Structure 1
Amino acid sequence: MQQTDDWSKTRIEMSAVGVAGGGATWWLVEVLPDLLSNDRLGLLISMSVLGVFLVTMAMMGPVRLGRAVLGGLGLSLGIALLTFWASFRFDSASAFFEGGHPAAAVLVLYLVGIPFLLVMLEHGRGAWKDYAALFQTAWTIIVRFLAAGLFTAIVWGVLFLSNALLELVHISVIEDVLDVDPVPFVISGGVFGLALAVAFEWRDYISPHLLLRLLRLLVPMVMPVLALFLLAVLSNGLENVVQFGSQTGLLTAVAIGGITLVTVSVDRDAAHQVRARVLRWSVRILAVLLLPLAGLAVWGIGVRVAEYGWTPERLLAALSVGMVVLYGGSYAVLVLFPGNWAARLRGVNIALALLSVGLAVLWLTPVLNAERIAARSQVARILSGQVRPDQAALWEFAHKWGGAGQQALADLRARPDYPNRAEILAWAAKAEQSDTRYQYSKRAPDPAGPEPAVQLARLVPLRPQGATLPPGAFSALPKWRVSRAIEACQRVFDDGRPGCVYLQMAFLPHLSEPQGVLLLRETDTRVRGYIYVLRDGRLERDALLADWTTGIGATLPADTIQKVLEGAFQTEPAQVNVLKIGERALFPDN
């Protein structure tokens, strides 16, 4: 056992810091809003105060209280000022944080910044290059906070049980004390600080070593799964990769998990890294597989941006994918070269960690103003006619993207001539009148009317051969749906055939009304299907065509329409009838 000689002093200090932090949290939540009308100033004060306590509690033990407080003050004040500056993109600080992505940047700054700051305070300014110290410090903080959080939860469980027991004999002293406003905050902070002190005293036993070794055992399980996935992608053909556009988040999460497993396997130094031959080779193979997985994530975000333009969320996803590519590419190259590949990986980890801090800082500056970049992208799509009025990001301009969004709306109103200008401005007015996205989406425009519906009926070929639709079948559809279908039909193939087809088939045999699927070539490479039901001579959209194996809306290759036109399809009964086109089984997703 390794304990400090003045362990009682450490416990008192850390408990006191926790009590002060809990009391400060209560004051910031319950009192400060009534004292300040400027929520932006409240944001600056809250982030500074909470940040000081967070960083101080993370660093106390390894460094003295005074140094921990000064270090916490410097880091938290810097992050708070950056966030305060970035909040001026919006009318209020609360609107700034509603998007979620500013919190991601703040989280990165704290998660990566605290270990670097602590090793420099503990070992000297040059210690930021000491990977062993950084690795041990980062994981130790995580384990100490997890242990302290668990103990705090246990204490509250004991308090609730004790209160319930005493209430059996009509004693309410615990409940009466807890009803005093700051008490729950103070108890939580004090208990958390005390638990951190005990975890530091018993650091030989409460260490990250057990957790790291358990995580290593996941490598031989994750590696073959990832290899099988990539082999399946390769064997199914690259034309099916288009479906990954909506799965970028999943691919990125798996890649981050793989990066974490490789990192914990090489550990802090050669003395602690994996030694078993099976584990070492599994780690190397996993490191190589991260690169093609990152490539799929790049493809996914690229498809989404090409089709829908930039949004703040896609920009954040692109930066995350970019970091994954750097990790995956570096790991793959380094493990393939002979020599001490594990040591090379450790050096890369330091460089990429610092890069992530730099990107997080830029995210909170005008250099990476996500809302401005997104607004410019979406305005460009509107002006070029790439997006239908109902699908333009007009509600986001009005309610989600702050000053950049408002400027985009003003720009659209000021420009005299661009495609669908009248409809765009009408939808913009509706966006400003709608407090929620749901309200906005429910404000449907007028029906298409006879002329566009007649044009669509002339353009859409029907299958199977001999299938018919009554006159005016498309006339009850919203104008934008008809316009979208006409655009798809006019996106003809090289042989002159239209980029659309209506296939009559009974997906749900128990329904008496005729049913069918309208396949539309929405881009040069992508086809989507929409299920319709014919009621009283008018088509009504019922569902989206989904993949039977995944349950996700099906994104199909362009030649799907050509196959249907040629009759290369069949129906198969399941719980509902399933449409088979090639190897794909499709069904309506409600």
Structure 2
Amino acid sequence: MKQAQDWSRTRLAMAGVGGVGGLSLWALVELLPDLIDNARLLLVLFIVVIGFFVVLMSLVGPNPVRRSVLPALGLSSVVAMLSLLASFRFAALEPFVDAVHPAAAVFIIYLVATPFISVRLEHGRAHQLDYDKLFQTAWGMIVRALAAVLFTWLFWGVVFLSDALLGLVGLNIIEEILEIEAMPFVINGTVLGLAIAVAHEWRAYVSPHLVLRLFRLLVPVVVPILALFLVALVLSGLDDAWKFFSETALLTGVAIGGITLVTVSVDRDAGHQVTLRWMVWMVRALAVLLLPVALLALWGISVRVLQYGWTPPRVLAALCVVNVLIYGLVYAVLALSRGAWMERLRRANVALALWSLALAALWLTPVMDAEKLSADAQLERILEGRATPDQAAVWELTHEWGRAGQQALDTLRTTADYPARTQILALIERAEQSDSQWDFQDEIKQQKVPEQAQELLAMVPVYPEGQSLPQRAFEGLHSYQMGRVRKGCETLTDDGAPGCLFLIVPFHPESGLTEGLLIYKTDRDTLEVRGYWLEDGVLVGGVRPGTLIPGTREDIAETALRDIREGNYEIKPAQVNVLTLGDTAIFPNN
């Protein structure tokens, strides 16, 4: 009876916490922006309020509400102050929010710190670093949250179906309730809090054990795949390693997944870890294989940085890779050691978690100012001539890297002599006048059109033989289209000829225009066909020509290039009926 009363109190408390949290979120979104003009104050309030309720709902259950309030408020306030500090890297708040990487640091802080706080509240200071309790608490929080979110989705499904059912008899009660501004927020929070409370009450059934056992089944699948990948790489003489500079995210994700599988396999203590001999060796092998994967990720990000310099996303990627490498190194050393290596790995996981927490917190401080590091690195590349105007991160310095970017621009303006100074200053001026990065880059590309058009004119063969196009012919094509044609030309046919050509065809002899088809290979191993005509010496049109045979594809077989070069084609009138309306003739696919 007493347990039922305790459960009822917990349910009411969690429903109340969730409802107040939902109401607070509504106020933050709908009311406070009209009352508070200071964007940074709004940021602090948003992080404190949202963080407070998320942490509080994570702590309550194993811990009573009254004991959880202050720790939740303390953690959310610390995160808010760190975020406020980081926001001053920018003159305005919007670029800080758009940067995304500060949000990643905030997420890591909450994810790692909350289980430590919960264990200390529930078991006392003496056990706050107890891996058994930290493991069970962390995974318990994740499973409760997932179960609650799934139930909340189900609840809203029932609500919408009920509304539709009542609507059949003309009753709009549910719709009218939901139209009250704050009501959806309050209901959502209340249901979520109630679901978390119930999930905790039935933790013996809604436990992480099933999830962890399912994860373990992946170990025998992942180990052979990783081993095969590494063996194939070695047998290739590492010739394929150069590709990994663009696959750092994939390799890092694989390593993080492997770390997770090792962690769930060693579990919380010796009584729950894997015990089958072959599975123990599988886990040991996975722990060792993580190190070369992490090294490949480090190689990938290193090549990228050496080629293009630092940017905030690359700084974040490098930090993640280094962290994964540390995990991989520790896991490999412990897995190769004798004795109770799983026990030592569990103890190491506590230290590694605290290390990750410290890195996430430092990311929001001047110690790890990604924008400053990136701006200084890109400035150095420009001043030393290692970055051409095309490669210079002018847009990022102007719009995305805050005060550090503006300081770099001031240096570029005041420095008297460095390579391509005139072009760089012109790009800076253009970036300051552009509303979007796409417009800025498109304008730059369009300025190169005359030069690209001349290069393309030399690449595209013109048929019939003896025919030619004017010098400015390809200036009518957009830079993006010229890039596609150029790529097609560089893709040779089976007989070694360029994968492109321009065929002059008098489709409308009475018009007096020079008309023709531009044909080039695509990435799909097909041919793209575009119809053009000359106006003032420039190709215009670019339309896909219609087919007179129903069902025929617009891209024709590759043999067409060879047939055209060898003259195996005819030009003749099309025998079709057309609908004539005055001077206009209409036919299908025209």
Normalized against structure 2, the TM-score is what? 0.79
Q: How many residue pairs align between the two structures?
A: 500
* 1:334 corresponds to 2:334: yes
Question: How much has 1:93 moved relative to structure 2?
Answer: 2.4
Stretches of structure 2 lacking an aligned partner (at least 5 in a row): 460-467, 481-489, 504-516, 523-527, 543-555, 560-590
Q: Any idea what SS the aligned residue of 1:389 has?
A: coil
Question: How much has 1:473 moved relative to structure 2?
Answer: 10
Q: 1:576 to 1:105 in 2, by over 3 A?
A: farther
Q: How does 1:162-177 map to 2 (within 5 A)?
A: 162-177=162-177
Aligned equivalents of 2:340 and 2:367: distance in 1? 38
Question: How much has 1:287 moved relative to structure 2?
Answer: 0.9
Q: 1:363 to 1:447 in 2, by over 3 A?
A: closer
Aligned equivalents of 1:245 and 1:270: distance in 2? 40
Opposite residue 125 of structure 1, the aligned amino acid is R
Q: How does 1:323-472 map to 2 (within 5 A)?
A: 323-444=323-444, 446-447=447-448
Q: 1:420 to 1:477 in 2, by over 3 A?
A: farther
State which structure, 1 or 2, has the greater radius of gyration over its C-alpha atoms.
2
Opposite residue 13 of structure 2, the aligned amino acid is E
Opposite residue 49 of structure 2, the aligned amino acid is V
Aligned equivalents of 1:514 and 1:174: distance in 2? 60
Q: Any idea what SS the aligned residue of 2:27 has?
A: helix
Q: 1:209 to 1:130 in 2, by over 3 A?
A: same
Question: How much has 1:131 moved relative to structure 2?
Answer: 0.4
Q: Which residue of structure 2 aligns with residue 140 of structure 1? A: 140
Q: Which residue of structure 1 aligns with residue 223 of structure 2? A: 223
Question: Larger deviation: 84-93 or 370-379?
Answer: 84-93
Aligned equivalents of 1:475 and 1:416: distance in 2? 38
Q: How does 1:222-261 map to 2 (within 5 A)?
A: 222-261=222-261
Aligned equivalents of 2:453 and 2:218: distance in 1? 58
Q: Which residue of structure 2 aligns with residue 505 of structure 1? A: 497
Give the conservation status (yes or no) of the 8 Å contact 2:252–2:294.
Answer: yes
Deviations 1:167-201 (A, max 9, x none): 00000000000000110000011111111111111
Aligned equivalents of 1:234 and 1:477: distance in 2? 49
Give the conservation status (yes or no) of the 8 Å contact 2:87–2:93.
Answer: yes
Opposite residue 507 of structure 1, the aligned amino acid is G
Give the conservation status (yes or no) of the 8 Å contact 2:501–2:518.
Answer: no
Q: Which residue of structure 1 aligns with residue 127 of structure 2? A: 127
Aligned equivalents of 2:270 and 2:452: distance in 1? 75
Give the conservation status (yes or no) of the 8 Å contact 1:2–1:202.
Answer: no
Give the conservation status (yes or no) of the 8 Å contact 1:219–1:261.
Answer: yes
Question: How much has 1:450 moved relative to structure 2?
Answer: 8.3
* 1:38 corresponds to 2:30: no
Give the conservation status (yes or no) of the 8 Å contact 2:36–2:42.
Answer: yes
Aligned equivalents of 1:205 and 1:3: distance in 2? 17
Aligned equivalents of 1:575 and 1:347: distance in 2? 64
Give the conservation status (yes or no) of the 8 Å contact 2:85–2:364.
Answer: yes
Q: Which residue of structure 2 aligns with residue 321 of structure 1? A: 321
Question: How much has 1:502 moved relative to structure 2?
Answer: 11
Aligned equivalents of 2:37 and 2:77: distance in 1? 21
Give the conservation status (yes or no) of the 8 Å contact 2:309–2:377.
Answer: yes
Aligned equivalents of 2:473 and 2:411: distance in 1? 35
Opposite residue 333 of structure 1, the aligned amino acid is V
Give the conservation status (yes or no) of the 8 Å contact 1:450–1:472.
Answer: no
Q: Which residue of structure 2 aligns with residue 63 of structure 1? A: 63
Opposite residue 437 of structure 2, the aligned amino acid is R
Question: How much has 1:250 moved relative to structure 2?
Answer: 0.6
* 1:98 corresponds to 2:90: no
Deviations 1:97-153 (A, max 9, x none): 101100000000000010011111111123232000100000000000001111111
Deviations 1:438-487 (A, max 9, x none): 10111126448789989xx9xx9xxxxxxxx9998999799x99xxxxxx
Aligned equivalents of 2:52 and 2:441: distance in 1? 43
Q: Any idea what SS the aligned residue of 1:390 has?
A: coil
Q: How does 1:285-324 map to 2 (within 5 A)?
A: 285-324=285-324
Give the conservation status (yes or no) of the 8 Å contact 1:447–1:477.
Answer: no
Q: Which residue of structure 2 aligns with residue 496 of structure 1? A: none
CA RMSD of aligned residues (A): 3.3
Question: How much has 1:91 moved relative to structure 2?
Answer: 2.2
Q: Which residue of structure 2 aligns with residue 520 of structure 1? A: none
Q: 1:509 to 1:251 in 2, by over 3 A?
A: farther
Q: 1:157 to 1:248 in 2, by over 3 A?
A: same
Opposite residue 94 of structure 2, the aligned amino acid is S
Give the conservation status (yes or no) of the 8 Å contact 2:453–2:472.
Answer: no
Q: Any idea what SS the aligned residue of 1:327 has?
A: helix
Q: 1:476 to 1:235 in 2, by over 3 A?
A: farther
Question: Larger deviation: 135-144 or 340-349?
Answer: 340-349
Give the conservation status (yes or no) of the 8 Å contact 1:398–1:409.
Answer: yes
Opposite residue 100 of structure 1, the aligned amino acid is V
Give the conservation status (yes or no) of the 8 Å contact 1:71–1:117.
Answer: yes
Deviations 1:345-378 (A, max 9, x none): 1111111111111111111000101100000010
Give the conservation status (yes or no) of the 8 Å contact 1:44–1:81.
Answer: yes
Aligned equivalents of 2:452 and 2:38: distance in 1? 54
Question: How much has 1:226 moved relative to structure 2?
Answer: 1.1
Q: 1:162 to 1:315 in 2, by over 3 A?
A: same
Aligned equivalents of 1:172 and 1:223: distance in 2? 56
Aligned equivalents of 2:476 and 2:373: distance in 1? 34
Give the conservation status (yes or no) of the 8 Å contact 2:501–2:520.
Answer: no
Q: Any idea what SS the aligned residue of 2:128 has?
A: helix
Opposite residue 92 of structure 1, the aligned amino acid is A
Opposite residue 91 of structure 2, the aligned amino acid is D
Deviations 1:538-580 (A, max 9, x none): 99xx9xxxxxxxxxxxxxxxxxxxxxxxxxxxxxxx9869xxx
Q: How does 1:536-555 map to 2 (within 5 A)?
A: none
Q: Which residue of structure 2 aligns with residue 160 of structure 1? A: 160
Q: How does 1:16-27 map to 2 (within 5 A)?
A: 16-27=16-27
Q: Any idea what SS the aligned residue of 2:390 has?
A: helix
Q: Any idea what SS the aligned residue of 2:247 has?
A: helix
Q: Any idea what SS the aligned residue of 1:435 has?
A: coil
Q: Which residue of structure 2 aligns with residue 47 of structure 1? A: 47
Q: 1:220 to 1:474 in 2, by over 3 A?
A: farther
Aligned equivalents of 2:266 and 2:40: distance in 1? 44
Give the conservation status (yes or no) of the 8 Å contact 1:506–1:516.
Answer: no
Q: Which residue of structure 1 aligns with residue 586 of structure 2? A: none
Give the conservation status (yes or no) of the 8 Å contact 1:3–1:202.
Answer: no
Aligned equivalents of 2:470 and 2:335: distance in 1? 66
Aligned equivalents of 1:188 and 1:451: distance in 2? 57
Q: 1:2 to 1:303 in 2, by over 3 A?
A: farther
Aligned equivalents of 2:452 and 2:9: distance in 1? 84
Deviations 1:389-446 (A, max 9, x none): 1221110111111111111111110111000000000011111111211101111264
Give the conservation status (yes or no) of the 8 Å contact 1:258–1:290.
Answer: yes
Deviations 1:209-268 (A, max 9, x none): 000000000110111111111111111222321111111001101110010000000000
Opposite residue 365 of structure 2, the aligned amino acid is T
Aligned equivalents of 2:333 and 2:538: distance in 1? 59
Q: How does 1:519-538 map to 2 (within 5 A)?
A: none
Aligned equivalents of 2:500 and 2:310: distance in 1? 38
Q: 1:538 to 1:330 in 2, by over 3 A?
A: farther
Aligned equivalents of 1:223 and 1:451: distance in 2? 49
Opposite residue 285 of structure 1, the aligned amino acid is A
Aligned equivalents of 1:182 and 1:147: distance in 2? 24
